[in-house]
Amino acid sequence: MPEMTLIEAVRQALDEELARDERVLVIGEDVGRRGGVFRATQGLLEKYGEERVIDSPLAEASIVGVGVGAALYGMRPVCEIQFADFIHMAFNQVVNEAARMCYRSNGEWTLPMVIRAPYGGGIGGGIYHSQSVEAFYAHVPGLKVVIPSNPKDAKGLLKAAIRDPNPVMFFEPKKGYRLIRGEVPEGDYSVPIGPAHVSREGTDLSVFAYGMMHHYALQAAAQAGAEGISVEVVDLRTLLPVDRQSILASVRKTGKALIVHEDNLTGGYGAEVAAILAEEAFGDLDAPVMRLCAPDVPGIPFSHAMQEWVMPNPQKILGAIRRLARF
């Protein structure tokens, strides 16, 4: 299987889906001539033309609004928001329109659209280019929320999202765009939305993560293994709908749970995972559920030193694993 970066896998998925289905189109700021600010759409304008790779104005509400209308008309739009931080401008279109359409029409209308955006810190982007916004949208019934952590899943999950009849929020860890490499199967394939994936088997404790934090969790687990701590790492992949069975199965095997994400601690997605464990696996726990997250600060600092202080990293995860293993 060929090896590629995460951003190359995203680009390949878009290319193949545009070629496969003439209803697919891409719309967003700088997705055409520039090929996207991270080059996710590089070369697609030349292959598919301006009617299917559309440079939009700097107006996120319009990008998503056009996507909603196109999906209702039978198209399958992929709306790129340049940074996840900017989805806030389209919150009404996402939450009040896209998420509610099937319900409000009693199933008469589906809304097959994808809203994809880079999220998270680690690139020195500062407050307005580093936010983790997934918990906002994982709260909303009617949406699906997907976050890949490796190139194989990035391609397969994006293909599944484009083919899904529901609106899918597809968040990509921007720090991992060129840092994370991996093998990607040749030919057409998809990865189902919903199931989590046990990416490392273990017996002493479970680590639940997604996106860049899953990549870091694997590094920390490998170091912990060298110290005699057997760590199971679960890549959640889909935040909504949540794979309760995989979460419970892992903790019933290991008895301990560490949840890692780079969003703020309070109200972050980890609280939902912790609640599932408290409600349905309390008797299986040998220690309190632990969360390792960013502190409750308004944003990721621009300063690289402060950015490193705020964000989880492999060493911080390893420290949390050691503390939990000793409990």
Residues catalogued as catalytic: 129
CA distance 47 to 56: 18
Tokens of 66: 């056009």
The CA distance from 39 to 8, in Å, is 9
* Alpha carbon distances (Å) from 45 to 14, 52, 63, 249: 12, 8, 17, 45
Please work out, in degrees rounded to the nearest 5, the angle formed at the alpha carbon of residue 315 by the alpha carbons of 230 and 84: 105
CA–chain centroid gap for 210, Å, is 7
What is the C-alpha separation between 167 and 72, in angstroms, rounded?
A: 11
Beta carbons within 8 Å of 153's beta carbon, 6+ residues apart: 191, 197, 235, 237
Inter-residue contact 6 to 177 (CB < 8 Å): yes
Contact 52, 196 (CB under 8 A): no
Of how many residues is the chain composed? 327
Helices (H), the chain: 6-20, 44-48, 60-72, 91-92, 101-104, 134-138, 151-163, 212-226, 244-254, 270-280, 304-310, 314-326
Can you tell me which residue has the tokens 């598919």? 48
Report how far residue 262's alpha carbon sits from residue 28's, in angstroms, rounded to the nearest whole number: 26
**In contact, 16 and 51? CB cutoff 8 Å:** no
> How does DSSP assign 12-33, residue by residue?
HHHHHHHHH-TTEEEEETT-SS
